Amino acid sequence: MEVAKYIPDELDRRIIAHLRADGRASMSKLSEALGVARGTVQNRLDRLIETGTMLGFTIRVREDYDDRTVRAVMTIEVVGRSTTQVIRKLRGLSEISSLHTTNGGWDLVAYIRADSLSDFDRVLREIRAIDGVSNSETSLLLSSIL
Q: Are 27 and 76 contained in the same domain?
A: no
Please give the residue that has the higher pLDDT: either 61 or 39.
39
To the nearest 10 degrees (0 to 180), the angle between helices 10-21 and 38-50 is 90
Look at residue 63 in the predicted model and tell me its pLDDT. 55
Whether residue 59 lies inside any domain: the answer is: no
CA geometry: angle 108, 109, 110, nearest 5 deg: 120
| pTM of the entire predicted model | 0.59
Q: Are 136 and 74 contained in the same domain?
A: yes
Look at residue 20 in the predicted model and tell me its pLDDT. 80
How many domains is the chain built from? 2
pLDDT in tens, 48-85: 989 888 887 776 666 555 566 899 999 999 998 999 99
Q: Phi then psi for 64, rounded to 5 degrees?
A: -105, 25
Domain that holds residue 105: 70-141
For residues 102 and 90, give the distance between their C-alpha atoms in angstroms, rounded to a whole number.
15
Q: What is the mean pLDDT of the chain?
A: 88
Look at residue 17 in the predicted model and tell me its pLDDT. 84
pLDDT in tens, 75-113: 999 998 999 999 999 998 989 989 999 998 999 999 999
For residues 70 and 120, give the distance between their C-alpha atoms in angstroms, rounded to a whole number.
7
Q: Are 88 and 26 contained in the same domain?
A: no
Nearest Cα neighbor of 138 from 146, 114, 62 is 114
